[in-house]
Structures are given as C-alpha cells and as structure tokens.
Amino acid sequence: MKKGVVIFWLVLIALIVAGIGLSVFTSSRPGALDSFARCLEQKGVVFYGAFWCPHCQKTKSMFGSSAKLLPYVECSTPDGKGQLQVCKDKGVTSYPTWIFPDGKVLTGERTLQELSDASGCALPQ
C-alpha cells in the first residue's frame, strides 16, 4: 500500500474519532436552561407538541441543549395525520400547548418569561 493512502486513512480515522469525542463532550455539558427545564417538570408543567409543528420546533430551539429535559409529550401519530389519545384526553387542540397543574393552559409560541411567570420557575440569570 502506498504511503499517501495510509496517511489519508489515518487522517480520516483521526477526524472521525475527534468528531465523536467532541460530540460526546459537548452533549454532556449542562445547558444554560437546564435548571429551568427541570423546574418546569418538577412543578408538573407539560409541553404538548407534534414533530411536524414548526412552532414546537421553535419552542424547543429556545431551550437549546436543555430541550432534552423538557416535560414534552408527543401528540402526533408517526404518520403525522392523527393525534394520540393522551393528547385527546387532555383536550389539546393546537400546538404547542403548555398545561399547568392549576389548570392554566397556554397555547402557541410563548416566551421564556411567559413560561416562567405562569410556572413560578425562575429563569437563570
């Protein structure tokens, strides 16, 4: 085997290993809104959405890497044409929908401050 081919493969393998290592390192770091997302869950707040909903995706993106900690319930059937029974039972008719333990319901895109005010969870400084 030629020396150039060996070097090419070694560099390629090194880049792959470095990429995997970087993704593990960055995903294990806490997100800026981790405490806020955890507080929402602890308070019993639930975020109902659908994978195909652009407003739900925008809401998740507001939380950045902390979105994985949100108390999220997927409402859409896998084909995107129906709604799961758990969401029908809760009366969810639009996405995103936030339901609070006291019965308060917020629909549509909401700011972090609105979620903080409704839940009593403090936003990190």
**Where are the domains positioned within the chain?**
1-29, 34-119
pLDDT in tens, 100-123: 999 999 999 999 999 999 999 999
Cβ atoms of 45 and 18 closer than 8 Å: no
* Per-residue confidence (pLDDT) for residue 114, from 0 to 100: 97
* 34-119, CATH topology level: Glutaredoxin (3.40.30)
pLDDT in tens, 30-44: 789 999 999 999 999
Alpha-carbon dihedral of residues 42, 43, 45, 46, nearest 10 degrees? 20
Q: Which residues pair with 99 in a beta bridge?
A: 46, 105
Taking residue 6's Cβ as centre, other Cβ atoms within 10 Å add up to 10
Q: Output the CA torsion sign for 70, 52, 73, 93.
A: positive
Question: Rounded to an integer, what distance in angstroms lies between the CA atom of residue 64 and that of residue 80?
Answer: 24
Instruction: State the pTM of this model.
Output: 0.76
Cβ atoms of 65 and 85 closer than 8 Å: no
Taking residue 4's Cβ as centre, other Cβ atoms within 10 Å add up to 8
